[in-house]
Structure 1
Amino acid sequence: MVSNGAYVLKEWVVQSHIKLERNPNYWDNDDTIIDTVYYYPIEDQSTELKRYRAGEIDRTEEVPSQQIKWIRKNLADELQISPYLGSYYFGFNLTRPPFKDNLKLRRALSMAINREIITDKVIARGEKPLYSWVPPGISGYKAARFDYADWSQKKRVEEARRLYKEAGYSLSNPLTVEIRYNTSENHKKLAIAIAAMWKQTLGVKTRLVNEEWKVFLENRKQKQVTQVFRAGWIGDYNDPYNFMEILHSKHGLN
């Protein structure tokens, strides 16, 4: 692997670690203060936190949302939460029923999700409810918002139930659907919350399917068994196009 950064790749052992060593040819090598860096792939955030507390790792990328209150109380000086230019969302497979050519059903499910409850109660790590595809924070750009962004949740629920009925579903004929997510206790917690909201608001029956990352991506790509899937995008650069291009039909990540 050829690179021109402060470090070069020395080892990559799958499911074990990635080892980097400082690059003597880096333009600012004299100011590099760490000689060796190890990255450890850890899917379980609780395990990651335990290894951090045990001194086995120096920095975590993510913390378990169910322990955020304890972390704020006991590790407040070590917790750093900063703005992150990204969107976390759930997508529909539009190539097959029940979501193909069924805008009313898709819109009903979207409106039935209480984003404020998710950000304030379910994860509560500082995330903000999002009512646009492009997240706020991009210089000189004001994102287009959903038409129901400023409605009360009560009004959204009423409209969601109306659309759900017009889409052909009811309490006596509920939608049965699967939500797929890649292995992560935080992803699982969000999927459970959304399934509960769909059940309470519309009577939807939801089955959660947890898959290893590569299997999850392949199933999403094949578009055969996947119905609803969790996804996200973090901006690579400060421009709305970085998010908008994903929605293009021929984009590699659509």
Structure 2
Amino acid sequence: MAINTVKLNVPFTQKEKYVIAANLTCLVADTPKGNQFICDAFQELNIDHYEMRRIIPEIVETEGQDGFFRIISTMSSNKKKVAQQYFGKALIDGDGKDKPDAILIFQTLVERCGLRDATVEVPIRNINVRLDSSVKSISRAAACHLSSVIANGIMLAQNNDVVIYKDRIDFGRCSNPEIQGMSGNIAPNFYMEYGNVIYRFGSNLKCGWLSKQIDYVGTMAPTSPDNPEIFNLIYPRFA
């Protein structure tokens, strides 16, 4: 079965496809499933391993590490949608969801390359999301943003009990053997605190003192959810 299901209007350039391939190797786990995913993805993208070993160092030398992000961020929206599918499926089908560094890389790609539509499929059965008494409601824009945060937190913690506070989200006791025993910062805004996975709000989220509503106050407020399935669990339920 094909990994990418989005029709590519214009073929990837040589640089584009090899940058996508290089990122995929960082998003999968070193497991049979991860290795099989890379094999299938490279075949779909028509990746030549020897050519890749030459091109990637050239990109780093001429454009620096940020060149990887620039190449993806300047792609057309159609190409970005294809890249999004590969990156998202690498986490799920390539076992990358069990690697904290893969989650971090995925979030960085989403934020720095304009891949706000990139979604990670999380099984929504038995997910229990509730508000702490410090929060009364969540605005639509905040819910759009938090949908991916909650999806990533559930994958990190491997725990379906989620509590939203005025300044953080608590994903409960971590059941992920890959990060159990860790402490401190484990991914952007994610922390391991006393065995629990915690997401602490950045400056783009604020809970009103009187209204107790969590709102998105950053620039470029999202208009569509990063993860539609999770969004539907929290909005309009908590509106």
> Common fold, TM-score beyond 0.5?
no
TM-score tier, shorter chain, comes to under 0.3
TM-score, normalised to structure 1, is 0.25
Larger radius of gyration: 1
